[in-house]
Amino acid sequence: MEGAKGSETVLSELESAIETVVENYNKYSAKENLLRKGGIKKSNFKRMLQSELSHMLTETMKEEAVEKLFQEMDQDGDSLIDFDEYWALIGKIVKLLARNQQ
């Protein structure tokens, strides 16, 4: 696409935030695998929760949340979390936190 690069665009707060969430997916996503399907391994996702969401999630919630979310995900039997699932998981964690704050 023309004109899409090289410009020093100042992103809005929301845009920067979205970019950060996407970059975080890329950071934990498996880059090399034979089928080039990509996605985050469940073990990496757990590591991500520990490292990147340590202030948001208490220890108890972390374990509880991970357990619950992974159970819900297990239906597709896939060991890799794709972008859709990743995005949905973050959304669920946010709702979980909101409920706990009320």
> Where does this chain bind a second copy (CB under 8 A)?
1, 4, 9-18, 20-22, 24, 51-56, 58, 83-84, 87-88, 90-91, 94-95, 98, 100-101
Pairing of strands 40-41, 80-81: antiparallel
Shortest Cβ distance from residue 46 to a second copy (Å)?
15
Shortest Cβ distance from residue 8 to a second copy (Å)?
11
For a second copy, the closer of residues 33 and 94 by Cβ is: 94
For a second copy, the closer of residues 32 and 84 by Cβ is: 84
Shortest Cβ distance from residue 69 to a second copy (Å)?
14
DSSP for 29-62, written as a single string: S----TT----EEHHHHHHHHHHHSTTTS-HHHH
Shortest Cβ distance from residue 20 to a second copy (Å)?
4
> How far, in Å, CA of 67 to CA of 45, rounded?
12
Tell me the two tokens of residue 31: 């880059």
